Each structure stands twice: as structure tokens, then as C-alpha cells.
């Protein structure tokens, strides 16, 4: 192969490197498709380096190298950002669906379960209630739901109830009454029951 033909081919590679670099940069901003941009960027980088080594089409070769590196860097940055966004969305969905109960109770809300109060009214009917205090400990307005269970000494469920705290402002506290109706057959068990939050959601 003559020197002129070799230089022409090398110059063509430098041009191809620049063109691929441009395509790579454009595609690198598009999620999923930017997987292709990563490999295009590598090709642009290789072609640009060949152009520099062969000392032909130096400007195009340098442009190809720079654009190739940019497309690789942008692709990695975009994929990292998308991955972080997916992770964050997944965490928020877990909080909404009750799959992050411990985190909600640790970072989103303070919940205090009062004592269960059981008494008889003047007609001999049973009055009962447990006061649950919910405080929004975030800096944003939040809504919560809590699933509260009463269990016996063996861990068997006696009864359950729910608290729904809607639109609590940052730092706001609200009281709720639960277990306001208890079947007569469960009263003795409820007096000795242990109470726990088995599911917490924040949204």
C-alpha cells in the first residue's frame, strides 16, 4: 500500500472518529440507547488515536478523541443518575406500600401508643380506646397509615386497628383514638395484650 493511500485511510478514520464522537455525544443523553453511545465513544476514541499516531487529519482526530471521551463520560453519568432515580423511586414506593416500616418509624414519624382504656358506661356497655399520637418529623407535609396489632403472650393476634394521619404539616402532631369497639369475648385478652405497629406507610 502506498503512503498516500495509507494517509488517506488514516484520514478517513480520523473523520469517522469525529463523526462517531458527535453521534455518541448526542445519543449519550438518551436513557437505554446511551448503552450504544458508550461503545460508539470508544470507537471514536480509537479512531482519533489512530489519526494522531498516523499524523493525518489532526484536528478531526483530536475532535474525535474529545467527543469520544465526552460521550463515554456523559453516558456513565446519565446511567448513574437514572440508577439513583430508580433507587429513590423504589424507596418511596416501599414507604407507600408499607415495605419500609422501620425506616418510616425512624425517619418519617414518631408514633406513641397510649394505654388501652376499658370501662363500663352507665348502661353497662363497654367503652374502650387507645390514644395514638403521631408526629411528622420531616420538613414536608406528609400522610401516614399505621397498622396496629394486639397480641397475646404467645404472639397470637387478638385484634387489630388502623391509624390514618392525613396531611400532617412538618413538625405537626395529631392524636387518634383506636380500638374504640372491642367484642365482649376479646375484652379480657385485650387487657393483657401487647400492642405493636406491624406496618407503617408514608406518602
Average the pLDDT over 73-86 and give the result.
83
Average pLDDT, the chain: 87
Q: In sequence order, which residues have a C-beta less than 8 Å from that of residue 186 and are 6 or more positions away?
A: 158, 159
Res 2: pLDDT: 45
Average the pLDDT over 18-40 and give the result.
89
Residue 78, CA distances (Å) to 34, 38, 115, 195 in order: 8, 11, 52, 47
| 36: number of Cβ within 10 Å | 15
Average the pLDDT over 111-122 and give the result.
91
Query: Of 147, 132, 136, 122, which is closest to residue 199 (Cα–Cα)?
Result: 147
Query: Of 177, 111, 180, 171, which is closest to residue 144 (Cα–Cα)?
Result: 111
Give the architecture (CATH level 2) of 101-202. Sandwich (2.60)
Of 12-21, 39-48, 97-106, the range with the lowest mean pLDDT is: 97-106
* Residue 12 backbone dihedrals phi, psi, to 5 degrees: -65, -40
Res 90: pLDDT: 67
Average the pLDDT over 181-192 and give the result.
92
Average the pLDDT over 73-98 and give the result.
75
Of 92-101, 104-113, 139-148, the range with the lowest mean pLDDT is: 92-101
Does the structure show a pLDDT above 50 at 1?
no
Does the structure show a pLDDT above 50 at 64?
yes
pLDDT digits 0-9 by tens, 51-63 = 888 877 788 888 9
Average the pLDDT over 124-144 and give the result.
93
Q: Which three cell numbers stand for residue 129?
A: 380506646
Res 150: pLDDT: 97
Amino acid at each position: 500500500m502506498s503512503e498516500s493511500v495509507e494517509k488517506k485511510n488514516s484520514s478517513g478514520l480520523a473523520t469517522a472518529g469525529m463523526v462517531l464522537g458527535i453521534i455518541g455525544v448526542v445519543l449519550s443523553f438518551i436513557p437505554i440507547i446511551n448503552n450504544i453511545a458508550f461503545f460508539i465513544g470508544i470507537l471514536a476514541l480509537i479512531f482519533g488515536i489512530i489519526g494522531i499516531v498516523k499524523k493525518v487529519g489532526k484536528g478531526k482526530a483530536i475532535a474525535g478523541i474529545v467527543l469520544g471521551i465526552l460521550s463515554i463520560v456523559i453516558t456513565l453519568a446519565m446511567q448513574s443518575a437514572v440508577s439513583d432515580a430508580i433507587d429513590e423511586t423504589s424507596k418511596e414506593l416501599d414507604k407507600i406500600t408499607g415495605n419500609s416500616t422501620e425506616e418510616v418509624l425512624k425517619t418519617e414519624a414518631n408514633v406513641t401508643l397510649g394505654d388501652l382504656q376499658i370501662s363500663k358506661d352507665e348502661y353497662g356497655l363497654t367503652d374502650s380506646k387507645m390514644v395514638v399520637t403521631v408526629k411528622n418529623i420531616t420538613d414536608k407535609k406528609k400522610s401516614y397509615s399505621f397498622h396496629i396489632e394486639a397480641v397475646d403472650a404467645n404472639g397470637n393476634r387478638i385484634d387489630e386497628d388502623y391509624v390514618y394521619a392525613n396531611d400532617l404539616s412538618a413538625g405537626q402532631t395529631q392524636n387518634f383514638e383506636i380500638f374504640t369497639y372491642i367484642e365482649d369475648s376479646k375484652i379480657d385478652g385485650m387487657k393483657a395484650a401487647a400492642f405493636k405497629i406491624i406496618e407503617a406507610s408514608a406518602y
